[in-house]
Structure 1
Amino acid sequence: MKTNQMLHVVAFFLVLVGALNWGLIGLFGLNLVQVLGLPAGLAQTVYVLIGASAVYIALTHKGDCKTCMEVMKKWK
């Protein structure tokens, strides 16, 4: 797997985990990061990695997503 592909997969996974965590917080007040009992510094690192992954996905999604590429071609 190429480095860019691996970065995309890891970023997507982290964004998915972050989104699921926020869903659990909203529905049940359950924060998975706190449930796992991570030390504060590690928990903050997890949050920063999830945020950075979201920025990466937002900036690169159009070029990575075949479905979006097809839609963009139709709009031109």
Structure 2
Amino acid sequence: MNVKGLDYTCLTLSIIGAINWGLIGIFRFDLVAFLFGDMSWLSRIIYTLVGLSGLYLISTYGRICQVDDAR
């Protein structure tokens, strides 16, 4: 997978995580737990992937700065 594909995948997972946190905050409804079970192995994998995606997306700040400096 190229970097652009990884960026889109991580961004999509982070958006899913953000929507889930919004649902938790507003309605006390955990969509991931509802769909895959409360802390089942599948829901834990999803939570882990969302967290790793957020950590990876921190690197986009560096890439944004490089693009801005190139202009």
Do the two structures share a fold, i.e. TM-score over 0.5? yes
Distance in 2 (alpha carbons) for counterparts of 1:3 and 1:30: 35
Structure 1 residue 34: Cα displacement:
1.5
- The count of corresponding residues between Structure 1 and Structure 2 is 67
Segments of 5+ residues of structure 2 without an aligned counterpart are none
Is 2:5 the partner of 1:6? yes
Structure 1 residue 52: Cα displacement:
0.3
What residue in structure 2 maps to residue 15 of structure 1? 14
Runs of 4+ in structure 1 deviating by more than 4 angstroms, as ranges, are none
Find the residue that maps to 1:30 and give its secondary structure: coil
Is 2:33 the partner of 1:44? no
What residue in structure 1 maps to residue 32 of structure 2? 33
Instruction: State percent identity of aligned pairs.
Output: 31
Segments of 5+ residues of structure 1 without an aligned counterpart are none
Structure 1 residue 69: Cα displacement:
4.2
Structure 1 residue 35: Cα displacement:
1.8
Q: TM-score, normalised by structure 2?
A: 0.81
Residue-by-residue CA offset, 1:1-50 (whole Å, 9 max, x unaligned): x61000000000001110110011000001110221x1500100000000
